[in-house]
Structure 1
């Protein structure tokens, strides 16, 4: 898409300065069409590795490769011009060492033009976050329920439901903030814990299944639009597009079988005059 010169992208430092201010609006975007629609209304477009489950039918995010994240992020960048684009680092692309993480993150940023990367983990990833941020790569952290650790956790379940667990998550949050991350996602933790962490750290917290007290919120776009058949407890469905899509497809199938589509208005008549130059987009298809 053409980019207007008077529109500037939101940057990671700008998001960091929003701590305690106007709530930060975040939604996932996996392709150009959704990015184009969301861009004027959100602060951050998150190219999450959840795309493996939503777009590719995977059971978890674990199998998602780096190349796939880059391909989707390139599409989102091409179709947006205002929102900060943050790209998830997939499982296996950063855990081995800070140096491996840097190579993966540098490749993501060079090949997509995104403004930041996101990685999961707290205390265990503090050294890596510091290594990346010290070398010019803005990092968003991710604590609480970390989907890439689903095999170790034994499933997708809320965290911090018992107060005895809180100190561990608080330590994770403090480590992420202290390592130079510009913000952090807090996923699927007890509401009082998320609110407490938000008060304790100096960087913005982005809640998903956490607390309205967080500095911002993120949801998977397809979940909040009602496109997925089953959604987590923390999702509010702002539309029921799955029903609308099914109804539209049924109507299309009915018209095709009845030979009522295409009708005259959707076909090209024979012209007696000399051939003319086709108008732009006249022959475009979906």
Structure 2
């Protein structure tokens, strides 16, 4: 899959599947699946490093995870631009985006549009594909007062709709819509030519993205909108306890 396939999928009404991935072991498993693309999200700060927010993810962390994932897959990879990397000037943004592409990403994802129009446009014109991210943008955790659903007021609705249109005009190849009302996500999806990738806003978007550990049932906390496709936490616990019993009982744990 390439950036050119995204609008074609929308035009042909073919849904786009995307999951997060942060390490080589899961990347190897994903490589053998029918999944379309991978998001190396700054959610790695929470999922892999135990932080309460995405804010501690820096460019070094994102480059490390991008390299690890790319080592085991040829899938299309989008890597997050970390907190403030697009707010420290054009030179810093280009440098960070360049590092992610050199590490193996095919594109970068940027939260929000307002105040970043020139940077998004410059990156696109420099050959760095950009995916926009609107709605609940986790890097705005403190401004939002937590991880809260967006698009609940008239001003918020108009802002998200305006930024989605701006993202398209600036050359973004797709846009993630997170935790907004389903009717708003549907309206935006129908109003722009680039595909929308939804998370927590219904099934009317052109595609969906979920955190891999959430859908596999491995997380301590799973959002209400996530369908667990596996009881991974329990299965792994059972397997580990079986191993412990074998060790205690002197049972061979060598493969046959």
- TM-score, reference length from structure 1: 0.85
Instruction: Decide which of 201, 204, 215 is 1:210's aligned counterpart.
Output: 201
Which aligned pairs between 1:16-165 and structure 2 lie closer than 5 A? 16-20=7-11, 21-39=13-31, 40-81=33-74, 83-110=75-102, 112-165=103-156
253-262 or 149-158, which deviates more: 253-262
What SS is found at the alignment partner of 1:74? helix
Q: Which of residues 195, 212, 223 in structure 2 aligns to 1:221?
A: 212
Q: Which residue of 2 aligns with 1:283?
A: none
Deviation of 1:126 (Å): 2.1
Matched residue SS, 2:111: coil
- Structure 2, unpaired ranges of 5+: none
User: Is 1:257–2:248 an aligned residue pair?
Assistant: yes
The answer as to whether partners of 1:123 and 1:176 remain within 8 angstroms in 2 is: no
Deviation for aligned residue 1:29: 0.9
Moved over 4 A (4+): none
- Are the equivalent residues in 2 in contact too, given 1:101–1:128 (CA < 8 A)? yes
Moved more, 88-97 or 186-195: 88-97
**What SS class does the counterpart of residue 12 from structure 1 fall into?**
coil
Which residue, out of 201, 206, 231, partners 1:240? 231
Which consecutive unaligned segments of at least 5 residues does structure 1 have?
A: 1-9, 268-286
Tell me the SS of whatever aligns to 1:49.
coil
SS in 1 for 2:108: strand
Question: Is the 1:209–1:234 contact (alpha carbons within 8 Å) kept by the matching residues of 2?
Answer: yes
User: Match of 1:19, SS?
Assistant: helix
Partner in structure 2 of residue 3 of structure 1:
none
User: Considering only CA atoms, is the larger Rg found in Structure 1 or Structure 2?
Assistant: 1
Q: 1:250 to 1:193 in 2, by over 3 A?
A: same
Contact kept in structure 1, 2:86 and 2:116, CA below 8 Å? no
Structure 1 250/88 Cα, relative in aligned 2: closer, same or farther at 3 Å? same
Write the distance in 2 (CA, Å) between the matches of 1:65 and 1:100: 13
Deviation at 1:177, TM superposition (A): 1.1
CA apart distance, 1:145: 0.3
- SS of the residue corresponding to residue 52 of structure 1 reads helix
Render the CA deviation track for 1:243-267: whole Å, top value 9, x for unaligned.
00011111111221222244xx669
RMSD: 1.5
Determine if contact 1:195/1:214 at 8 Å carries over to the other structure. yes
Report the CA distance between 1:229 and its aligned residue: 2.1
